[in-house]
Amino acid sequence: EDQVTQSPEALRLQEGESSSLNCSYTVSGLRGLFWYRQDPGKGPEFLFTLYSAGEEKEKERLKATLTKKESFLHITAPKPEDSATYLCASVATGFQKLVFGTGTRLLVSP
Amino acid sequence: DTGVSQDPRHKITKRGQNVTFRCDPISEHNRLYWYRQTLGQGPEFLTYFQNEAQLEKSRLLSDRFSAERPKGSFSTLEIQRTEQGDSAMYLCASSSRQTGTEAFFGQGTRLTVV
């Protein structure tokens, strides 16, 4: 069965302290790997889709990368407004549903 | 583009009552999804529609749950004889052929069963 595991569960950073979030996936044929941001009490907000190993995408302070087994979300010089839960999800070939990990709760202190 | 809209945002119901939630997808998005999220967990897939056809359904969707998407526009999710374990955030998402599997979520309906 397809599975997504995220680590760490929670991460506390000082403003400006760069770090990476990990997403390990097991899927029978990857159609896409997705990153979402979720603020408390709100729905997930789409960030990135990665389709093949070696692909990278960037948006402001965020950069997502993909290997055959893992994806990383790199956060460069984070700000307090980057505090949120970051969710990773996979979609298998031939399917439409997203399989989510449990997320990484990021807190950035000023 | 006003985004995915869900109604109500919050619902408190007594155990055993029926509840119905509504989702209005982004206009012209032909694919619509329902997910359920409990505290500290990622969203779990419930069901998927392409236009008005329900094409995929999770084992999580017991007989008490039913979803419809008449005319391929808005969708409803009904839960009959609610149980305390049904308390969760119910999320709706939509996508199109152009966006592919990139799904855009609504703000969710928070259900509390007392």
A-chain residues within 8 Å CB-CB of B9? none
Confirm if A102 and A7 have CB atoms less than 8 A apart. Answer: no
A87/B43 CB distance under 8 A: yes
Task: Name the β-bridge partners of B66.
Answer: B78
Q: pLDDT-derived band of residue B98, with 50, 70 and 90 as boundaries?
A: confident
DSSP string, B59-90: TT--TTEEEE-GGGS-EEEEE-S--GGG-EEE
Looking at residue A74, what is its pLDDT? 98
Q: Determine which of B89, B101, B105 to mutate to test the interface with A (most A C-beta atoms within 10 Å).
A: B101
Q: What's the CA gap between B112 and B114, in Å, rounded?
A: 6
Q: Is the bond preceding residue B8 a cis peptide, omega within 30 degrees?
A: yes
- Mean pLDDT value across chain A: 96
Total CB pairs under 8 A between chain A and B: 62
pLDDT greater at residue A13 or residue B101: A13
Q: Is the bond preceding residue A8 a cis peptide, omega within 30 degrees?
A: yes
Which 9-38 residues of chain B touch chain A by CB within 8 A?
31, 33, 35
Looking at residue A93, what is its pLDDT? 86
Q: Determine which of A98, A99, A104 to mutate to test the interface with B (most B C-beta atoms within 10 Å).
A: A98
Q: Are strands B10-13 and B109-113 parallel, antiparallel or unpaired?
A: parallel
Q: Are strands B65-68 and B53-57 parallel, antiparallel or unpaired?
A: unpaired
Which 36-75 residues of chain B touch chain A by CB within 8 A?
40-45, 48, 50, 55-56, 58
A-chain residues within 8 Å CB-CB of B59? none
Q: Which residue of B has its CA nearest to A42?
A: B107
Burial tier of B67 (Cβ tally within 10 Å: 0-12, 13-18, 19+) = buried
Tell me the pLDDT tens digit for each residue of B16-71.
999 999 999 999 899 999 999 999 999 999 999 999 999 999 987 889 999 999 98
Looking at residue B1, what is its pLDDT? 53
